[in-house]
Structure 1
Amino acid sequence: MVEKSLFMQLKEDEREVRRALIMEAALELFKRKPFDEIGMRDIAAAAGVSPASIYRYFPSQEELFIEAFIQDLVVVGDEFKTRLERRLSSIKGKDPDIIFEFSNAVVDHLMDNEATFQMMSFLMIKGEMPGYLLKRFNLVQKSFIDKIDDVLHIAGFEGSVRLFSHTLFASILGVLITFRNYPGRSKEEIKAHVHRLASIVATVFKHGISPAYAELQERFT
């Protein structure tokens, strides 16, 4: 019985390693090519597995894609949690400027990580996924939005800030989607422009949202 359990564990470990290799290969391809130009055969070749065997780990390209995005979102959330904790250890009281740090962090990550941006854009447009993945995605997304709540509380917002967290994140994503492929501009010029626009969003939240805060709280809560 012990030998059988050990064998099953080894098989499960091997399966997880192969899944991770396949997702890593997919993410590398997403950095270089649009999602709709990549097939399962391309991913299988990059991962060093046969096209037929890849379906043992992922029923479809879409599910592989979503799994990879969830994994990436976990990494992003952990990185931002570390930045928050570092910032908290160095401040006393409220710190409105943390909104700028959050905005810059989101811009930098999505400008520097093509795979993440592609996957996020795809899911925003599609808006559907299998039930078992939707449950995982919602948990990971909630965890990430919780961190934005923390940012706004550190900045001085009180009470329920969920709608403001959604608004801040959506505003920054809107800037990125609109200007990320600005025609006729270099990557450096585009990044600088997106940072300027994200700073305007952060400034509005820092200074302009306060007068409307009470009214919006009363209207939506």
Structure 2
Amino acid sequence: METKEVQHVSKRQQKKTINRENIINAAIELFSSKSFAEVSMRAIAKHANVSPGLIYQYFDDQQHLFMTAFKIESSSLLNVLHQTVEGQDHQLELLATKYIEYMYMHDNLYHMMTYFMLENEQHGNVSQELHDIIDELFSLFREALRQHLPDDHLKHTVQLFFASLNGLLITYKNLPGRSSDSNLQHIKQLTSLLVHTIKRQEK
């Protein structure tokens, strides 16, 4: 009897895990293709093939679900970047190139980050947690930039550098008339030029 009860609990827990994963995957897909305001909990439920009420057993609201999806997508990026700079010289160019490559190849995170930055005021109480992720990115770039610039220039340079990388992606990622590989190579060339421009300001 006890074994059957354990199996029943295990199956129920497995079902909950599957439901949660399906909801998150549906949220990632929708949040990366539409603005935050355009994605309703009902639409996510339909996409995940669950009832709208079931979502609230796992997530408090739309903001909580967006935060969870964003954190999952960005954690892989942060892991890649941490591994990239560990024990390496020329960290700034390596870091910038790896960031460009990752964001270029991972449309979900690219679009979610773009929507988050454009609609920051709509994310309410979870904004601070999302900003913590951006701050971790800034911290990585700050340490790489510190090798080339005095500390009193770092704050604004980090912001400019990060904005410039994302600006290159937005401008050239889907540039018509060229192949995807050509667009990526062009962005990487401009990224290299950006890095060398900053290095010329070295103290």
What does residue 109 of structure 2 align with?
Answer: 116
Q: TM-score, normalization: structure 2? A: 0.76
2:151 paired with 1:159:
yes
RMSD: 3.1
What does residue 74 of structure 1 align with?
Answer: 75
The 1:183–1:162 alpha-carbon spacing in structure 2 relative to 1, beyond 3 Å, is same
Amino acid at match of 2:45: A
Alpha-carbon distance, 1:47 to partner: 3.5
Q: Residue 59 of structure 2 contacts residue 65 of structure 2 at CA under 8 Å; is this kept in 1?
A: yes
Q: Residue 104 of structure 2 contacts residue 110 of structure 2 at CA under 8 Å; is this kept in 1?
A: yes
Q: Residue 66 of structure 1 contacts residue 119 of structure 1 at CA under 8 Å; is this kept in 2?
A: no
CA distance in 2, matches of 1:79, 1:129: 29
The 1:139–1:14 alpha-carbon spacing in structure 2 relative to 1, beyond 3 Å, is farther
Deviating more after overlay: 177-186 vs 40-49: 40-49
2:196 paired with 1:199:
no
Gaps of at least 5 residues in structure 1 are 1-9, 88-94, 214-221
2:50 paired with 1:57:
no
What does residue 135 of structure 2 align with?
Answer: 142
Alpha-carbon distance, 1:75 to partner: 2.7
Gaps of at least 5 residues in structure 2 are 1-9
Alpha-carbon distance, 1:138 to partner: 2.3
Deviations 1:40-63 (A, max 9, x none): 455335534223322443455454
2:100 paired with 1:107:
yes
Alpha-carbon distance, 1:130 to partner: 4.1
| Identity fraction in percent | 26
Alpha-carbon distance, 1:73 to partner: 2.2
The aligned length equals 190
Alpha-carbon distance, 1:109 to partner: 1.0
CA distance in 2, matches of 1:47, 1:124: 26
Q: Residue 104 of structure 1 contacts residue 198 of structure 1 at CA under 8 Å; is this kept in 2?
A: yes
Deviating more after overlay: 42-51 vs 75-84: 42-51
Alpha-carbon distance, 1:71 to partner: 2.8
Amino acid at match of 1:136: E
Match for 1:183 among 162, 176, 185? 176
The 1:131–1:124 alpha-carbon spacing in structure 2 relative to 1, beyond 3 Å, is closer
The 1:39–1:137 alpha-carbon spacing in structure 2 relative to 1, beyond 3 Å, is closer
Following TM superposition, the consecutive aligned residue runs of length 4 or more in structure 1 with deviations greater than 6 angstroms are 10-17
The 1:86–1:205 alpha-carbon spacing in structure 2 relative to 1, beyond 3 Å, is same
2:173 paired with 1:172:
no
Q: SS of 2:86's equivalent?
A: helix
Alpha-carbon distance, 1:111 to partner: 0.7
Q: Residue 30 of structure 1 contacts residue 114 of structure 1 at CA under 8 Å; is this kept in 2?
A: no
